[in-house]
């Protein structure tokens, strides 16, 4: 141990590595199966979401938030207005109160955190030597960090519990004009702003001798400028009344998710004033981003799975480290190549299942282009061959 770091050296024999590599084949096959399922499901999810939003964009009705029109019962409606509440939310421990839609307490404790960095070195004969360095830093964390699992726990002990927990309070009755927001819609309003502690704020009796105040923080400890392990800082955030825009199904004077004919549901909310068209465009963009994120995740899972399946080859070759490194790079490239091909093939099959008309159109266009190029090449005039010179020419 040197300063706040600890170094550990471990060794693993070639036979042990080989056994673990063969065991990893099972895990690799499972990852590949999960990747196939994720990629296939994701295309169906994307199409369903697209169709749901397209249907919603065609039937949505913009209404005023000032009155509840019974004629819109069960319809997909769009409205804008100010989300507000008459409730006063109060933190029972610190006595902080606010006329807000949400009130959140953020509690953090100063603790030791362990980080590790490993470097693996191959040895002649196929074994490996791993050098792991554990470093210890002091950080503010909202969660309790257990120091019992630290490699070097001596001198890095954390308290056994958090004196205060983070928590959130939500108003039970939030309105927009004549309408009452459903809990699920209230849950989408997350534009938090810091709560400023007024000069009139008084600490609870139990904390007066332990805590110090700043404009936004209750600090439980001796010196905020030089925190010690176990010190706690607590801050607060609120969601104030604000303008929102929503798209949902009107049910009396409140809302429920709209169930489209495609089987999907629609319940959109954005902070600020937005048109129905703009909200649906944003929802479609979010759907596209999610589709690509899951495609990349599926490709990564499949690549990892094939790397694990092919891992025994590089371990076999590691008897001579340089050869094992070359084989490992080769199997990595092969794994990426196979994963890429199979991922695209899975997506293509999913398109045939979920988007048959579009797939046929794209194939027809591709076929027409291919046929056109082929015909063009067939009709291209052959390069004329110059006739041979007459006998005696040039003599």
Q: What is the number of helices (H) and of strands (E) in the chain?
A: 5, 19
Say what the pTM is. 0.79
Q: Is the confidence at residue 200, as pLDDT, over 80?
A: yes
| Residues 175 and 181 sit within 8 Å (Cβ to Cβ) | yes
Residue 362 is predicted with a pLDDT of: 53
Q: What is the mean pLDDT of residues 184-195?
A: 95
Lowest mean pLDDT among 259-263, 304-308, 311-315: 311-315
DSSP 209-236: TTEEE-SSEEEESS-TTS--TT-EEEEE
Q: Is the confidence at residue 386, as pLDDT, over 80?
A: no
Q: Which residues contact 321 (CB under 8 A, 6 or more apart)?
A: 122, 123, 124
Residue 220 is predicted with a pLDDT of: 92
Residues pairing with 176 in the sheet: 83, 179
Q: Is 199 exposed, middle or buried (0-12, 13-18, 19+ CB in 10 A)?
A: exposed
Beta-carbon count within 10 A of 237 CB: 19
Give residue 380's pLDDT band: very low, low, confident or very high (50, 70, 90). Answer: low
Give residue-wise pLDDT tens across range 18-40: 788 788 899 999 999 999 999 99
Give residue 395's pLDDT band: very low, low, confident or very high (50, 70, 90). Answer: very low
Q: What is the mean pLDDT of residues 255-279?
A: 95
Residue 36 is predicted with a pLDDT of: 94
Give residue-wise pLDDT tens across range 69-117: 999 999 999 999 999 999 999 998 998 999 999 999 999 999 999 999 9
Residue 175 is predicted with a pLDDT of: 96
User: What is the percent of the chain with per-residue pLDDT over 90, rounded to a whole number?
Assistant: 59
Q: Is the confidence at residue 272, as pLDDT, over 70?
A: yes
Higher pLDDT, 151 or 122: 151
Give residue 365's pLDDT band: very low, low, confident or very high (50, 70, 90). Answer: low
Taking alpha carbons only, the member of 87, 106, 286, 272 closest to residue 189 is 272
Q: Which residues contact 27 (CB under 8 A, 6 or more apart)?
A: 305, 308
| Domain definitions of the chain by residue range | 9-48+290-378, 62-112+135-274
Residue 337 is predicted with a pLDDT of: 87
Average pLDDT over the chain reads 87
Residue 2 is predicted with a pLDDT of: 42
């Amino acid at each position: 141990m040197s300063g706040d770091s600890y170094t550990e050296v471990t060794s693993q024999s070639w036979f042990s590595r080989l056994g673990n590599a063969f065991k990893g084949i099972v895990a690799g096959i499972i990852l590949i199966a999960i990747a196939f399922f994720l990629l296939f499901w994701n295309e169906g999810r994307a199409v369903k979401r697209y169709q749901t939003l397209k249907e919603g964009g065609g039937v949505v009705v913009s209404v005023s938030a000032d009155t509840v029109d019974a004629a819109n019962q069960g319809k997909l409606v769009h409205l804008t207005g100010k989300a507000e509440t008459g409730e006063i939310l109060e933190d029972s421990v610190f006595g902080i109160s606010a006329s807000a839609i949400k009130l959140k307490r953020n509690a953090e404790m100063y603790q030791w955190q362990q980080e590790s960095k490993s470097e693996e070195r191959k040895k002649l004969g196929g074994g490996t030597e791993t050098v792991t360095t554990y470093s210890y830093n002091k950080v503010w964390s909202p969660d309790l960090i257990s120091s019992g699992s630290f490699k070097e726990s001596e001198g890095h002990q954390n308290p056994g519990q958090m004196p205060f927990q983070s928590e959130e309070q939500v108003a039970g009755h939030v309105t927009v004009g004549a309408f009452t927001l459903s809990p699920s819609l209230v849950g989408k309003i997350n534009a938090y702003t810091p709560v400023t502690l007024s000069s009139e704020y008084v600490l609870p009796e139990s904390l007066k001798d332990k805590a110090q105040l700043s404009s936004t923080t209750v600090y439980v400890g001796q010196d905020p400028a030089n925190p010690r392990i176990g010190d706690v800082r607590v801050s607060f955030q609120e969601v104030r009344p604000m303008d929102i825009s929503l798209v949902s199904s009107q049910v009396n004077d409140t809302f429920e998710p709209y169930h489209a004919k495609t089987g999907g549901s629609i319940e959109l909310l954005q902070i600020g004033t937005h048109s129905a068209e703009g909200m649906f465009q944003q929802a479609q963009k979010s759907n596209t981003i999610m589709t690509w994120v899951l495609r990349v995740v599926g490709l990564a899972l499949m690549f990892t799975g094939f790397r694990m399946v092919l891992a025994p080859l590089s371990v076999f070759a590691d008897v001579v480290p340089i050869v094992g490194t070359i084989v490992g790079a080769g199997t990595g490239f092969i794994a990426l190549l196979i994963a890429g091909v199979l991922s695209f093939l899975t997506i293509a099959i999913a398109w045939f299942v979920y988007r048959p008309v579009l797939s046929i159109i794209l194939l027809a266009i591709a076929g027409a282009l291919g046929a056109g190029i082929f015909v063009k090449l067939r009709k291209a005039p052959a390069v004329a061959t110059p006739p041979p010179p007459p006998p005696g020419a040039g003599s």
